[in-house]
Amino acid sequence: MALTELAIGIYSSVEKGPPVKALLAQPDTWQMVRNPQTIHELFASLNKSNALLHHLNVFLNNRIGGSQAVATPTKDSSELQRLEQIEEIEKLKKKLEKKDKSIQKFTEATRKKDEEIKKKDEEIKELRTRLKYAREEASSVKALREEIAELKRLKEKSRYYLEWTERDNEKLKSSLKDKERLVRAEKDSIADLNTRLRDIWQIKKDLTEGLQERNDRVLALQIQVEDLKAEVAKYQEASNSQDQELHDQSNTKPVDQAPNLRKNIEAEHRYLVREIEGVKDTLKVQNEHIRKARETLAICTLRTKHGKTRVVKRAAQQPSQVHRGLYLRNGEVKA
């Protein structure tokens, strides 16, 4: 209904209403015909109005003809009436021509507006594309800001870790200095142990050599004791036989050699016994020295499953503590 009124207003604007340009300049008109479907409906309404005008024209012509057939006025009045109708028809034709021109102008203006609308649509598409790119850039900028914030957090965390590492390094340096002092002290104790062990090895060597000599002497003494025992037994048998002969020969001259020989044998026997006891005591003392030296070596060394000889840490001062970072080679402590 609004489109029909618009069409009738456009047609009647030639006589009564404002001009077509003023009507087209109104924003409500272009707001209404902005849609192509609306423009199509508007032209359909205009065509319908043209058809109505055509039917009106035919109706008037028929009416004029019918009035001529029915009425019988005078010739002058009928002629005057026909001229008026012709004049009215001419006026209607002029109106139709004017309306056609206004329709053409409206169509041309509509076409121009359509072109402008297309341009505006292209601009809108371009603006939408730019807006899309701008949003993507904004999202990328947001991601970059988040990444920068994360990098700042990581930087702060790395700074904290760096400070913690520096503090830890200071502690490690101080502990390293303490360990260096301990190592120097251990090296000094190792050198002391090396000196003591060399002395022990020398004592052991001397004791071993002396023990061998003592063993040789004891063996020689044992041989002499066996020989002396054999001689004592021989002399005993001889003395027994002589005692028997002296017993058989009573009131005879006593023999002075047998008591002297017995005394000599007993004295020699006592001497050999004292010598053997002295050798045994000496062997006991030497064995005690050897046992102590072996205990000292056992305290100072410890054989491991890897075939190396480990050394007790500060064996002289603390024999119960084992230092597994050292080993003994050729009688010397090695780190």
Residues 221 and 275: beta-carbon distance below 8 Å: yes
The CA-CA-CA angle for residues 68, 74, 80, to 5°, reads 70
Q: Work out the average pLDDT over 309-330.
A: 41
Cα distance between residue 286 and residue 217, in whole Å: 14
Residues 304 and 310: beta-carbon distance below 8 Å: yes
pTM of the model: 0.27
| CA atoms in the 13 A half-sphere facing the CB of 267 | 6
Question: For position 69, what pLDDT does the model report?
Answer: 40
Tell me which of 52 and 291 has the higher pLDDT.
Answer: 291
Q: pLDDT at residue 137 above 70?
A: yes
Q: pLDDT at residue 30 above 80?
A: no
> Could you tell me which of 21, 4, 19, 11 has the C-alpha nearest to residue 92?
11
Mean pLDDT (the chain) is: 70
Question: For position 203, what pLDDT does the model report?
Answer: 80
Determine the 3-state secondary structure of 118 from DSSP: helix
Q: What are the residue ranges spanned by the domains of the chain?
A: 2-140, 189-247+254-334
Cα distance between residue 222 and residue 64, in whole Å: 187
Rounded to the nearest 5°, which phi and psi values hold at 326?
-125, 160
Query: CB under 8 Å, gap of 24 or more: what pairs does 264-273 form?
Result: 265/231, 265/232, 265/235, 268/228, 269/228, 269/232, 272/221, 272/224, 272/225, 272/228
Q: Work out the average pLDDT over 177-189.
A: 88
Question: For position 243, what pLDDT does the model report?
Answer: 66
Question: For position 297, what pLDDT does the model report?
Answer: 66
Residue 43 pLDDT level (bands cut at 50, 70, 90): low
Question: For position 36, what pLDDT does the model report?
Answer: 57
Residue with tokens 């309404």: 45
> Could you tell me which of 317, 287, 313, 289 has the C-alpha nearest to residue 301?
313
Lateral strand order in the sheet of 309-312:
301-303, 309-312, 322-329, 332-334
Q: Work out the average pLDDT over 98-115.
A: 85
Question: For position 55, what pLDDT does the model report?
Answer: 63
